[in-house]
Amino acid sequence: MFRSLHMKLMLIMTLLIISLMTVVGAFLINSVANYYTQDFYTQMSEAFGDPDFWKDLETPIEGEEDAASSIAHILDTNSTLGIDNRSRKYYVLDGTDGHWLAGSDDKESGQAMPNDSRNLMRVLAGEDASDDNSPAAAYMDVAVAVQRGEGRYIVYVQDNGANVSALNSELITLIVEALIFGLIISVLLSFLLSKTLITPIERLTEGAERGEPCGWQRGTSPIRSRWPPGTRSACSPAPSMTWPSSSSAPWKKWRTSAPSWAPSFCI
């Protein structure tokens, strides 16, 4: 089946469409993931880099009894963090053992924090802040130590990447739909192009394989050429005939044979 030029052209166009959509899809998905990752860490840097916001986190209120709740209230009023309680949440943890004190979602009260978070483990070990991005992790996170009064607390912000996954799913759906539409177009174009480009090539190939002489027509005798009388094909040699040399003596009766044609072949 693949020996047909029609099928080869259709296969080439199909592979071209698939390769193109695969490269474009991979580029788009990777670009979306990189954008969301960069945007997350930019927002965290702007929020915790604000001197006024940082001063509010470290300055206790007079007569304050629950510092963790006060920190949570300050975090709720900061829109730069982008907390939505769906994909991005914050946690206020104890600075010594990392247990849950407050958070954006009260339903997660007492929930254990992930032990595989490199940023959280570093801050628990004594660092002031950590915002390293781990490509192997399925989430993005930032851990910052806050010294409020005499107590040490950890503000931990985590984004599980739900928005990125939802957008990537939409992109994949669009890419698959575009791929199917492109395949249909490529099949139709292959048949149209094969009629105008491949059919003449196939006819020339068939003629060369049959060894058809130049100037002959199909179904005609080799002696009867399509060239007019008195003319010959440009690719056919002249007939070879033997003629007597001129002399004063009477000519002898020469026996001439029929012209021997040696037709050449068009390549």
What is the value of pTM for the model shown? 0.64
User: In angstroms, what CA-CA distances link 113 with 74, 93, 124?
Assistant: 21, 9, 12
Measured from the Cβ of residue 135, the count of other Cβ atoms closer than 10 Å reads 6
- Chain centre to alpha carbon of residue 116: 32
Please say if the pLDDT value at position 220 is more than 80.
no
Mean pLDDT of the chain: 76
Tokens matching residue 115? 């032990």
Band of residue 264 on the pLDDT scale cut at 50, 70, 90: very low
Question: How far apart are the C-alpha atoms of 139 and 217, rounded to whole Å?
Answer: 76
Read off the pLDDT of residues 78-120 as tens digits, 9 standing for 90 and up. 888 888 888 898 999 988 888 888 888 877 666 666 677 888 8
Q: By the 8 A CB rule, do 264 and 213 touch?
A: yes
Q: Which residues contact 27 (CB under 8 A, 6 or more apart)?
A: none
Band of residue 241 on the pLDDT scale cut at 50, 70, 90: very low
Read off the pLDDT of residues 198-213 as tens digits, 9 standing for 90 and up. 667 767 777 787 765 5
- Least confident range from 50-54, 144-148, 256-260: namely 256-260
